Amino acid sequence: MTIPRWQGVLFDLDGTLVNSIPLIIASYDHALTSVLGQGRPEPEVRGWIGRTLTSVFEQEYPERAAELESTYIAWNRANAATMIGRYDGVHDLLVGLSDAQARFGVVTSKRRATAREALVLAGADDLVDVLAASEDTSEHKPLPAPLLHGAARLSVPAEGCAYVGDAVVDVQAAKAAGMTSIAVTWGAADAATLEAAAPDHLVHTAYELHDLLLGSAGSGGDTQAMG
């Protein structure tokens, strides 16, 4: 029987398990242009991914934050079904974890309802039992509270967990929580940006991630260990 490398594995959602980055970027653009008449450059918007909408809008546009957030959410939910996609190999990875009786779950800055909807659209909802969403903690990534909450839900100590994400805030939150940080390059941030954040591991495909978490999947490549 395959023995998972870590006692528990926690995943970010957007850009890690589900291909929602185009939807997020378009949702930000819609909200900004509708409410303010002007968007922001895509690289800047990509840098916001992984944080809660509230924290982004309150920092960037405190006087219009509530209006921007509600406009974003309405457009995002209206377009999720046609814009959320799947990453090659992710479903097989989750099935492999389940078959190995691994303890795993999702820690996301999304609200629970929209996170579940994204999992359903990506065909992964039936594989994810533990879902820690933005409502569960008062502090959010890059602070460790959401990840520590997720570990508690798994009944696994933080030091026995790995956190997998596609953004710099994911790496920062994992380090702050005392977890192994695993960065994936198929989401919001590019490899150079993630490498600069010094994750413990940097992987480029879901098959490499399978190799790292569970052993060889028979179709992956080399996994890059940082440090």
Active site residues: 12
Q: How far apart are CA 10 and CA 2, in angstroms?
A: 18
Q: In this structure, what DSSP letter does residue 104 have?
A: E
The tokens for 114 are 């929209």
Q: How far apart are CA 135 and CA 109, in angstroms?
A: 9
Q: How far apart are CA 213 and CA 184, in angstroms?
A: 13
The tokens for 23 are 């939807």
The tokens for 179 are 């977890």
Q: How far apart are CA 61 and CA 208, in angstroms?
A: 39
The tokens for 144 are 């460790």
Alpha carbon of 66 to those of 23, 69, 83, 140, 218: distances in Å? Answer: 20, 5, 24, 18, 48
